[in-house]
């Protein structure tokens, strides 16, 4: 038995010493934390040995599932050979260089360079600076402004939280920083009114055009968005949205940044989310599924257009992290990508388990408290509704979501609720019977909402 997990008073120690992210600590300490001790496949086990189906792959990241010994072995090999060296000052390590080759190989030859970070947030800070350096090197020093979206998520650093469109994050720490503006999100169910989804998608994309006009094209460096908003509630944009966004970025000569931190590495049934939607970003931050969360690592994937300027015109890029391209994290990521390739997980999501997952979840659309189910690949957002005919939502959307989420948890299923949307993002290795089990437990959670909350 692992001596770290067999310690008996972990709950008390945690309450005494550990401040958790995105948590009300007073409430958490009263309730106690759940201590997760072990994982296998799509399941996690708490310290009491209770099993949960993890419908969320940790935090959208454990794409290959838990307990893969190959990763542990690759990490141990690298750890014994070279536990650390940096990539500053003209050096690299073998796994780091090979990882840059392997990731970029899956971008269809368009994003041929990688700059390594330790997280998605750091990848956000990295491209944010890189975009400005790019325009300055091209003789456009005023092109600095970045446009992002309400209810987007790009991490929790100062730049990440500023670019994100989360009001509750902006309220803490006087954010956003200068030089960032937000436009609306393509969330048809909540904000589409009488428009068709397609008309609404075009309308929301054109907010970008209006914002560029307002700021002046000569002052705008880039637009950033997630192909599908994750933390914002798995908001799948109407089909008209991305083509229009891509057209506007091209016409107005601003960089298009696709935040691929969730959509990357197979989640949508393509290697990257932009491939699913058929657009071509200039920069793409990645993290999460890059190592399936086994060790922290992220990167910014850089198109030839930007890389050429960074290499030939920009001189020193005065930016980097002590652990940029950490060899052990890179070895874990390499092995993770090898597994995704060898097991054909991306194709499996697109042609087999993704369609099965979609059909199983769509079956919930007959439920009285479900307004709409959106899925792409293995990501889903289930919209709760008080009256599905009129798209009327529950008066207390957060309570509705938590009602279902807590019932699922009590019945051995980890789901996430963002407001009144139930989110799922399971490991790409989930089986059909595990999907069935997930949907069955979720249906019971929806029954519970129906029976306990009417408005
Ligand atoms: C999680 C996430 C990030 C931030 O990544 P961290 O590794 O938590 O810093 C950025 N963008 C998106 C879309 C994310 O989901």
Atom from ligand 1 closest to the CA of residue 152: 13
Question: Has residue 16 been placed in a domain?
Answer: no
Q: Report the separation in Å between the CA atom of 362 and the middle of ligand 1, taken as the mean of its atom positions.
A: 27
The reply to whether 167 and 215 lie within a common domain is yes
Q: Report the separation in Å between the CA atom of 154 and the middle of ligand 1, taken as the mean of its atom positions.
A: 5
Protein residues with CB under 6 Å of any ligand 1 atom: 119-121, 124, 153-155, 226, 230-231, 259, 261-262, 287, 298
The reply to whether 337 and 361 lie within a common domain is no
Atom from ligand 1 closest to the CA of residue 121: 9
The reply to whether 49 and 140 lie within a common domain is no
pLDDT value of residue 87: 97
CB 99 within 8 A of CB 334: yes
Tell me how many domains the chain contains: 2
Question: Has residue 215 been placed in a domain?
Answer: yes
Question: Has residue 27 been placed in a domain?
Answer: no
The reply to whether 338 and 348 lie within a common domain is no
The reply to whether 173 and 306 lie within a common domain is yes
CATH code, domain with 408: 3.90.1150.10
183 alpha-carbon distance from chain centroid? 19
Question: Has residue 103 been placed in a domain?
Answer: yes
pLDDT value of residue 6: 79
The reply to whether 174 and 220 lie within a common domain is yes
Q: What tens-digit pLDDT sequence spans the chain (455 residues)? A: 688 887 889 999 999 999 999 999 999 999 999 999 999 999 999 999 999 999 999 999 999 999 999 999 999 999 999 999 999 999 999 999 999 999 999 999 899 999 999 999 999 999 999 999 999 999 999 999 999 999 999 999 999 999 999 999 999 999 999 999 999 999 999 999 999 999 999 999 999 999 999 999 999 999 999 999 999 999 999 999 999 999 999 999 999 999 999 999 999 999 999 999 999 999 999 999 999 999 999 999 999 999 999 999 999 999 999 999 999 999 999 999 999 999 999 999 999 999 999 999 999 999 999 999 999 999 999 999 999 989 999 999 999 999 999 999 999 999 999 999 999 999 999 999 999 999 999 999 999 999 998 77
Q: Report the separation in Å between the CA atom of 200 and the middle of ligand 1, taken as the mean of its atom positions.
A: 27
Question: Has residue 19 been placed in a domain?
Answer: no
The reply to whether 48 and 78 lie within a common domain is no
The reply to whether 103 and 213 lie within a common domain is yes
The reply to whether 403 and 306 lie within a common domain is no
pLDDT value of residue 156: 98
The reply to whether 245 and 359 lie within a common domain is no
pLDDT value of residue 268: 98
For 401, the domain range is 34-64+344-452
**Exposed, middle or buried by CB within 10 Å (0-12, 13-18, 19+), for 443?**
middle
Boundary residue ending a domain (295, 313, 342): 342
Boundary residue ending a domain (294, 324, 342): 342
Closest Cα to atom 6, ligand 1: which residue? 120
Question: Has residue 9 been placed in a domain?
Answer: no
The reply to whether 293 and 405 lie within a common domain is no
Question: Has residue 406 been placed in a domain?
Answer: yes
Closest Cα to atom 10, ligand 1: which residue? 154
Closest CA to 54 of 360, 295, 415: 415
Closest CA to 358 of 439, 289, 270: 439
Question: Has residue 147 been placed in a domain?
Answer: yes
Q: Which of 118, 120, 226, 292 to mutate to test the pocket of ligand 1 (most atoms within 8 A of CB)?
A: 120
Boundary residue ending a domain (291, 307, 342): 342
Q: Report the separation in Å between the CA atom of 440 and the middle of ligand 1, taken as the mean of its atom positions.
A: 30
Q: Which of 62, 153, 321 to mutate to test the pocket of ligand 1 (most atoms within 8 A of CB)?
A: 153
The reply to whether 359 and 316 lie within a common domain is no
CATH code, domain with 143: 3.40.640.10
Q: How far apart are CA 274 and CA 263, in angstroms?
A: 8
């Amino acid at each position: 038995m692992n001596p770290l997990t067999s310690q008996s008073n972990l709950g008390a120690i945690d309450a005494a010493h550990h401040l958790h992210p995105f948590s009300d600590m007073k409430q958490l300490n009263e309730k106690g934390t759940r201590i997760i001790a072990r994982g296998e496949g799509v399941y996690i086990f708490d310290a009491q040995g209770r099993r949960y189906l993890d419908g969320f792959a940790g935090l959208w990241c454990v794409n290959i599932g838990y307990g893969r010994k190959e990763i542990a072995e690759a990490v141990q090999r690298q750890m014994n050979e070279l536990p650390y060296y940096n990539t500053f000052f003209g050096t690299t390590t073998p796994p780091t260089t090979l990882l840059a080759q392997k990731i970029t190989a899956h971008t269809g030859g368009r994003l041929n360079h990688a700059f390594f970070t330790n997280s998605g947030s750091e990848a956000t800070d990295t491209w944010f600076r890189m975009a400005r350096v790019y325009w300055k090197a091209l003789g456009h020093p005023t092109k600095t402004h970045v446009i992002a979206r309400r209810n987007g998520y790009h991490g929790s650093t100062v730049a990440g939280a500023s670019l994100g469109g989360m009001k509750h994050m902006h309220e803490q720490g006087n954010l956003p920083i200068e030089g960032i503006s937000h436009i609306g999100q393509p969330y048809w169910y909540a904000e589409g009114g009488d428009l068709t989804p397609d008309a609404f998608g075009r309308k929301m994309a054109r907010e970008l055009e209006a914002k560029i006009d307002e700021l002046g094209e000569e002052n705008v460096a880039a637009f950033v968005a997630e192909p599908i908003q994750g933390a914002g509630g798995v908001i799948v944009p109407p089909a008209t949205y991305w083509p229009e966004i891509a057209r506007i970025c091209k016409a107005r000569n601003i960089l298009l940044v696709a935040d691929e931190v969730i959509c990357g590495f197979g989640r949508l049934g393509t290697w990257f989310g932009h491939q699913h939607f058929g657009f071509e970003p200039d920069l793409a931050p990645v993290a999460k599924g890059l190592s399936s969360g086994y060790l922290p690592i992220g990167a910014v994937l850089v198109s030839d257009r930007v890389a050429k300027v960074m290499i030939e015109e920009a001189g020193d890029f005065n930016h980097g992290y002590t652990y940029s391209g950490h060899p052990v994290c890179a070895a874990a990521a390499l092995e993770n990508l090898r597994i995704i390739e060898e097991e054909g997980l991306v194709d499996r999501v697109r042609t087999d388990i993704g369609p099965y997952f979609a059909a199983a979840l769509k079956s919930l659309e007959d439920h009285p408290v479900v307004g709409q189910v959106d899925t792409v690949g293995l990501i889903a957002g289930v919209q709760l509704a008080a009256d599905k005919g009129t798209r009327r939502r529950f008066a207390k959307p957060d309570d509705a979501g938590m009602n279902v989420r807590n019932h699922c948890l009590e019945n051995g299923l980890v789901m996430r609720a963002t407001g009144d949307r139930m989110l799922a993002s399971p490991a790409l290795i989930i089986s059909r019977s595990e999907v069935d089990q997930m949907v069955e437990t979720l249906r019971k959670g929806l029954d519970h909402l129906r029976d306990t909350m009417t408005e």
